[in-house]
């Protein structure tokens, strides 16, 4: 299987620049590219990537998306003087030509296609292309919004043609609506386009009716265009995560793409003068990580916007670090989406209900009609203010955010453990781990006894128990001391091992431990209430703890299949886990699982975004396949393709829905509809 991350950068793309005064276009500067690349060098990320050279996109490739008229106009600008360039630029909404623009735009297309080729040919698993000019506003016959050729759209057509792909997902997290991309694929069911964007009830540029949530695609393409309009500025980390949990990810897993392309604009990040949003760089690590779970990890990230140089470059670094499978930093801020975000999410879910089983199966009939559209936008075209006073305030604001980010990133970046996964001596060889493994010697029996007896006096009599506790504790110890990221321990008595692990972690000083039980297990009631959150996916009724905020039981019955389990992971476990923000995750897998191996792999994969990727797996089931899959997931291998995750039964989806409604006041990331006026 492919490994490695491609990075594509060509300094020549910094030669495209604005030659005259234009307050709308003057933010799209060459330094956007050079600063991002320098920051990657600063973090030593460049040398860890596979360098792939850019090339010029061919005319034929450009014509996959654009008209020959458009190509000819672009070509003709190469020999123009400044006055003529200015005149041609004036024909478009927010674009500028430089004599080298055509060459740069062809390099941007070619760089994007080089990235697609590297991933599709298995030379790398994923990668990022740093390109200028950007692409997503560009249309068949027009430049628009700093974009000349639509790099990502061309890449999608190219991948369909060259590799025969039938399902491509484009995720556009730029803060502007990629209307160009929408127009190109509107009627095409083979390309699923998702975009969130600052909208403010159509007041924000490009101020189009068709950027709203009810533009779902046309003809055969109905359901394959997903717009999530933000009607307020200031959206932050939790709003973006909620959009992924409740809109993008369920649909994306049902769509089951063969390749994922990201229109990766960072103007949706904090400090950006265009976006005015609040999301901090580390959220892009989480977004990237989620997308890495699709299409067997085949992920191509292509730069679009991003105009606050510090915010942009830190966010680029977060993205590349994540592509390289570094541990993911904890996301900061209160984990609760705002009301306006929930409204938008609810609207787009309702609009797409006819097209996706995920949304269909949830009965939303009780919801009120929540159209929040304004009827008359105040202006037809909103541009950044050119008011002098405004500029001054914006500048000092930008400097403030630069300082904030400087401090913020110092707290965010932590040393990368050179070794990812720890395991015990006896099992190490059978896991066939793809990454360096730390083989841990089990703890001395007397040490275990003295440790465990602090809080667990009577259980340490049995030799078998003592033995498995010894290796589990040795592994856990390495995780707690940050010598390794995660670990896998097998135990014939998982419930005892987990109980000791939980107590030991809390004893060590961990304030929030998330513990998930899968399969048949007796859960030993925990006394560290509040410091441990238990989610039980076992079918056995567990008594005693019901009613506590920190014990959630799904009571999954036997007929659950992998798709149904998946609906629980995505629609419930993930949002609760993000609400809780654990510093450690313990996942216990017992026997008689009604849940398939692929579902369990996915659970491990998705949860690795939390607790700085600190996960301890305790496995009672001795199935070698299960052990191997968990070990692989922990080592960072991509989830093997198992087909679309389509929920099979309405019953299970409804069950999750009811739980969501019950618990969304406690665990706010569950919120995806406005009910009873939150
Ligand atoms: C790629 C991108 C923004 C254009 C804004 C024009 N374009 N007001 O972010
Ligand atoms: Zn943008």
Q: Identify whether residues 363 and 500 lie together within a single domain.
A: no
Give 520's pLDDT tier (boundaries 50, 70, 90).
confident
pLDDT at 457 exceeding the cut of 70? no
Domain end residue (candidates: 370, 395, 412): 412
Ligand 1, atom nearest to 145 Cα: 4
Alpha carbon of 52 to ligand 1 centroid (Å): 27
**Rounded Cα–Cα distance for residues 608 and 74 (Å):** 45
Neighbour-count burial for 452-467, b at 16+ CB within 10 Å, e otherwise: beeebeebbeeeebbb
In this structure, are strands 126-130 and 299-303 parallel, antiparallel, or unpaired?
parallel
pLDDT at 390 exceeding the cut of 60? no
Which range of residues forms the domain containing residue 664? 486-670
In the predicted model, what is the mean pLDDT of the chain? 88
User: Among 365-369, 410-414, 628-632, where is mean pLDDT lowest?
Assistant: 365-369
Q: Identify whether residues 396 and 527 lie together within a single domain.
A: no
How far apart, in Å, are the Cα atoms of 109 and each of 95, 118, 245? 17, 14, 31
Q: Which of 66, 98, 137, 352 is catalytic?
A: 137
pLDDT for the residue numbered 528? 66
Alpha carbon of 305 to ligand 1 centroid (Å): 7
* Nearest residue by C-alpha to atom 7 in ligand 1: 145
CB 639 within 8 A of CB 296: yes
Q: Residue 458: left if φ>0, alpha if ψ -120 to 50, beta else—which one?
A: alpha
The question of whether 137 is a catalytic residue gets the answer yes
The closest ligand to the CA of 303 turns out to be 1
DSSP-derived secondary structure letter, 454 = T
CA 449 to the chain's CA centroid: 43
Does 380 fall in a domain? yes
Does 10 fall in a domain? yes
pLDDT for the residue numbered 369? 36
pLDDT for the residue numbered 429? 55
Ligand 1 binding pocket includes 176 (Cβ within 6 Å): yes
Q: Which two tokens stand for residue 1?
A: 């299987």
User: Among 131-140, 329-338, 546-555, where is mean pLDDT lowest?
Assistant: 546-555
Does 447 fall in a domain? no
Ligand 1 binding pocket includes 137 (Cβ within 6 Å): yes
Alpha carbon of 621 to ligand 2 centroid (Å): 49
CB 443 within 8 A of CB 460: no
Q: Identify whether residues 138 and 14 lie together within a single domain.
A: yes
* Nearest residue by C-alpha to atom 6 in ligand 1: 145
Alpha carbon of 293 to ligand 2 centroid (Å): 25
pLDDT for the residue numbered 651? 75
Q: Identify whether residues 509 and 658 lie together within a single domain.
A: yes
Ligand 1 binding pocket includes 213 (Cβ within 6 Å): no
Ligand 1 binding pocket includes 245 (Cβ within 6 Å): no
* Nearest residue by C-alpha to atom 3 in ligand 1: 145
Does 33 fall in a domain? yes
Query: What count of residues does the chain have?
Result: 678
Ligand 1 binding pocket includes 657 (Cβ within 6 Å): no
Ligand 1 binding pocket includes 304 (Cβ within 6 Å): yes
Domain end residue (candidates: 380, 412, 444): 412
Describe the strand order of the beta sheet including 191-198 as a list of residue ranges: 50-51, 5-9, 126-130, 299-303, 259-264, 168-172, 191-198, 225-230
Ligand 1 binding pocket includes 133 (Cβ within 6 Å): no
User: Among 373-382, 477-486, 508-517, 588-597, where is mean pLDDT lowest?
Assistant: 373-382
Give 391's pLDDT tier (boundaries 50, 70, 90).
very low
CB 251 within 8 A of CB 352: yes
Tell me the DSSP string of 258-289: SEEEEEE--TTBBT-TTT-B-B-HHHHHHHHH
Tell me the DSSP string of 18-38: --S--TTTTT--THHHHHHHH
Instruction: Please report which residue ranges of 164-245 form alpha helices under DSSP H.
Output: 179-185, 237-243
Q: Which two tokens stand for residue 158?
A: 């190219």
pLDDT for the residue numbered 412? 80
Domain end residue (candidates: 372, 389, 412): 412
Q: Identify whether residues 406 and 517 lie together within a single domain.
A: no
SS3 call for 585: strand
Q: Give, for ligand 1, the residue of 26, 147, 264 to mutate: max count of ligand atoms closer than 8 Å to Cβ.
A: 147
Tell me the DSSP string of 465-525: HHHHHHHHHHHHHHHHTTSSSEEEEE-TTHHHHHHHHHHHHHHHT-S-EEEEEESS-PPPP
pLDDT in tens, 87-116: 999 999 999 999 999 999 999 999 999 999
Q: What's 502's domain CATH number?
A: 3.40.800.20
CB 119 within 8 A of CB 259: yes
The closest ligand to the CA of 135 turns out to be 1
Q: Identify whether residues 213 and 334 lie together within a single domain.
A: yes
Q: Which two tokens stand for residue 9?
A: 């950068």
Ligand 1 binding pocket includes 282 (Cβ within 6 Å): no
Ligand 1, atom nearest to 384 Cα: 8
Does 452 fall in a domain? no
Give 437's pLDDT tier (boundaries 50, 70, 90).
confident
The closest ligand to the CA of 26 turns out to be 1
Ligand 1 binding pocket includes 94 (Cβ within 6 Å): yes
Strands annotated E in 123-215 = 126-130, 168-172, 191-198
pLDDT at 199 exceeding the cut of 90? yes
Ligand 1 binding pocket includes 198 (Cβ within 6 Å): no
Q: Identify whether residues 35 and 176 lie together within a single domain.
A: yes
pLDDT at 387 exceeding the cut of 80? no
Number of folded domains that form the chain:
2
**Rounded Cα–Cα distance for residues 214 and 199 (Å):** 13
Does 295 fall in a domain? yes
Q: Identify whether residues 109 and 255 lie together within a single domain.
A: yes
pLDDT at 374 exceeding the cut of 60? no
Q: What value, to the nearest 5°, has the Cα angle with vertex 640 and ends 635 and 642? A: 150
Q: Give, for ligand 1, the residue of 16, 94, 148, 180 to mutate: max count of ligand atoms closer than 8 Å to Cβ.
A: 94
Q: Identify whether residues 398 and 491 lie together within a single domain.
A: no
Q: Identify whether residues 366 and 493 lie together within a single domain.
A: no
Q: Identify whether residues 366 and 241 lie together within a single domain.
A: yes
Does 477 fall in a domain? no
Residues with Cβ within 8 Å of 81's Cβ and at least 6 positions away in sequence, in order, are none
Q: Identify whether residues 209 and 324 lie together within a single domain.
A: yes
* Nearest residue by C-alpha to atom 9 in ligand 1: 305
Does 429 fall in a domain? no
Residues with Cβ within 8 Å of 7's Cβ and at least 6 positions away in sequence, in order, are 40, 45, 46, 49, 50, 51, 52, 127, 128, 130, 320
**Rounded Cα–Cα distance for residues 138 and 152 (Å):** 10
């Amino acid at each position: 299987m492919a490994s490695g991350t491609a990075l594509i950068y060509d300094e020549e793309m910094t030669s495209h620049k604005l030659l005259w005064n234009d307050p709308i276009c003057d933010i799209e500067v060459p330094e956007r590219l050079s600063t991002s690349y320098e920051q990657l060098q600063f973090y030593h990320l460049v040398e860890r990537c596979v360098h792939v050279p850019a090339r010029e996109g061919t005319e034929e490739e450009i014509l996959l998306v654009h008209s020959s008229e458009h190509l000819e106009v672009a070509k003709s600008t190469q020999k123009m003087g400044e006055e003529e360039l200015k005149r041609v630029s004036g024909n478009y909404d927010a674009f500028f030509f430089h004599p080298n623009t055509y060459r740069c735009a062809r390099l941007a297309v070619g760089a994007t296609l080089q990235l697609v080729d590297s991933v599709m040919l298995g030379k790398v698993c994923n990668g990022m292309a740093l390109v200028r000019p950007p692409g997503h506003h560009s249309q068949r016959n027009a430049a628009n919004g700093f974009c000349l050729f639509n790099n990502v759209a061309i890449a999608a057509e190219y991948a369909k043609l060259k590799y025969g792909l039938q399902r491509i997902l484009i995720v556009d997290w730029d803060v502007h609506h990629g209307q160009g991309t929408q127009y190109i694929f509107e009627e095409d069911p083979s390309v699923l386009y998702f975009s969130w964007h600052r909208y403010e009830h159509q007041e924000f540029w490009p101020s189009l009716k068709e950027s709203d949530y009810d533009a779902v695609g046309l003809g055969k393409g109905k359901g394959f265009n997903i717009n999530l309009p933000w009607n307020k500025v200031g959206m932050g980390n939790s709003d973006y995560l909620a959009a992924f949990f409740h809109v993008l990810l369920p649909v994306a897993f049902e769509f089951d793409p063969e390749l994922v392309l990201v229109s990766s604009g960072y103007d949706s990040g904090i400090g950006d003068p265009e976006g005015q949003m609040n999301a901090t760089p580390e959220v892009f690590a989480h977004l990237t990580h989620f997308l890495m779970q699709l299409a067997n990890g085949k992920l191509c990230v292509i730069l679009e916007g991003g105009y606050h140089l510090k915010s942009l470059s830190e966010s680029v670094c977060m993205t590349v670090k994540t592509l390289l499978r570094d541990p993911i930093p904890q996301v900061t801020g209160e984990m609760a989406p705002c009301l306006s975000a929930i409204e938008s999410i609810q609207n787009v879910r309702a609009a797409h209900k006819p097209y996706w089983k995920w949304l269909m199966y949830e009965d939303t009939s009780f919801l009120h009609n929540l159209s929040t559209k304004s009827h008359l936008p105040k202006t037809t075209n909103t541009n950044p203010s050119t008011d002098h006073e405004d500029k001054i305030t914006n500048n000092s604001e930008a400097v403030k955010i630069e300082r904030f980010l400087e401090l913020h990133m110092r707290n965010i970046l932590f040393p990368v453990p050179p070794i990812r996964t720890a395991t015990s001596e006896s099992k190490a060889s059978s896991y066939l781990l793809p990454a360096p493994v730390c083989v841990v010697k089990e703890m001395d029996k007397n040490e275990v006894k003295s440790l465990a007896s602090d809080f667990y006096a009577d259980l340490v009599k049995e030799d078998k128990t003592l033995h498995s506790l010894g290796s589990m504790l040795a592994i856990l110890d390495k995780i707690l001391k940050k010598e390794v990221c995660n670990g896998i321990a097998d135990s014939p008595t998982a419930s005892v091992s987990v109980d000791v692990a939980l107590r030991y972690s809390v004893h060590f000083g961990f304030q929030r431990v998330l513990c998930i039980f899968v399969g048949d297990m007796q859960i030993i009631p925990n006394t560290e209430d509040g410091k441990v959150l238990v989610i039980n996916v076992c079918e056995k009724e567990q008594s005693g703890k019901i009613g506590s905020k920190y014990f959630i039981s799904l009571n999954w019955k036997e007929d659950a299949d992998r798709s149904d389990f998946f609906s629980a992971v995505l629609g419930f476990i993930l949002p609760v886990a993000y609400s809780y923000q654990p510093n450690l995750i313990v996942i216990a897998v017992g026997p008689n699982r009604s849940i398939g191996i692929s579902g369990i792999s996915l659970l491990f994969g998705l949860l690795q975004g939390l607790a700085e990727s600190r996960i301890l797996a305790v496995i009672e089931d001795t199935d070698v396949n299960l052990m191997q899959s968990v070990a692989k997931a922990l080592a960072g291998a991509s989830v093997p393709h198992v087909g679309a995750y389509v929920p099979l039964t309405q019953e299970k989806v409804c069950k999750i829905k009811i739980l969501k409604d019950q618990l969304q006041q406690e665990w706010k990331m569950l919120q995806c509809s406005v009910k009873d006026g939150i």
